[in-house]
Amino acid sequence: MGKIQPVRHFSSIKVSPITYKKNQLSREVSLRLEEFDDFESILNDRNFSDVSISIEGKTIMACKLILMKKSPVFAAMFRADMKERNKNAVLIEDIKYDIFMELLRFIYSGKVRQLETIAVDLLAAVDKYRMENLKTMCELEPIKQMGIDDAVRMLKLADKYRAKKLKKRAIEYIVENKIDIFDQAEFRGLDKELMYNICQAIK
């Protein structure tokens, strides 16, 4: 007869605290991502919405509480005694539909599609609704893509929309490439304050 193998009691196997914490963290991250996906799925779903947003002739359905949680501007809008609150409707006239949809997607899910191509256009919407986390993301894309031909334009946009990181990098880039940029008509047309900022960076 063969030897009888001893029974192994797996309950005695010890899991290191580090391994346990890593596994627990992975599960928590997965659950959070699932939550984000769930929120994105209810964007523009009438069953989970209490406000309609009209933009470029199209209507988007959204939830006030979610909008208020992510944007202090939306929070002020819906808390105030305003026409939008009474009618449960908001009219957006200064932002393109596709751009606003990505703003909402970020509010609902923390994600943005094709940020590298829309970051500059999205920056205006982000500044309007004071969404600092998304603003940081929008600033990084033009910083990575900045070139001789658009550095001055990026500086003006950064100044207009209070994008501090983008403004700082644009000034640095202009100074680094002053031989190629200082003769540009757009550079010579900069306002005095921005010119002063550039001069300060040269010192």
> What does the pLDDT average to over 80-94?
74
Check: CB of residue 118 under 8 Å from CB of residue 125: no
At residue 2 the predicted structure's pLDDT band, cuts being 50, 70 and 90, is low
In 3D, which of 99, 102, 98, 100 has the Cα closest to residue 110? 102
* Distance set, CA 189 to CA 44, 50, 162, 170, 192 (Å): 44, 47, 20, 16, 9
**Domain range summary for the chain, segments of one domain joined by +:** 146-202
pLDDT computed for residue 53 by the predictor: 95
pLDDT computed for residue 86 by the predictor: 60
pLDDT computed for residue 24 by the predictor: 56
pLDDT, one tens digit per residue, over 6-42 is 544 444 445 454 444 445 545 554 444 445 456 788 8
pLDDT, one tens digit per residue, over 89-118 is 899 999 999 999 999 999 999 999 999 999
pLDDT, one tens digit per residue, over 120-133 is 999 999 999 999 99
Amino acid in the structure at residue 33: L
pLDDT computed for residue 44 by the predictor: 86
In 3D, which of 82, 81, 77 has the Cα closest to residue 65? 77
Fold of 146-202: 1.25.40
Check: CB of residue 151 under 8 Å from CB of residue 177: yes
pLDDT, one tens digit per residue, over 151-174 is 999 999 999 999 999 999 999 999
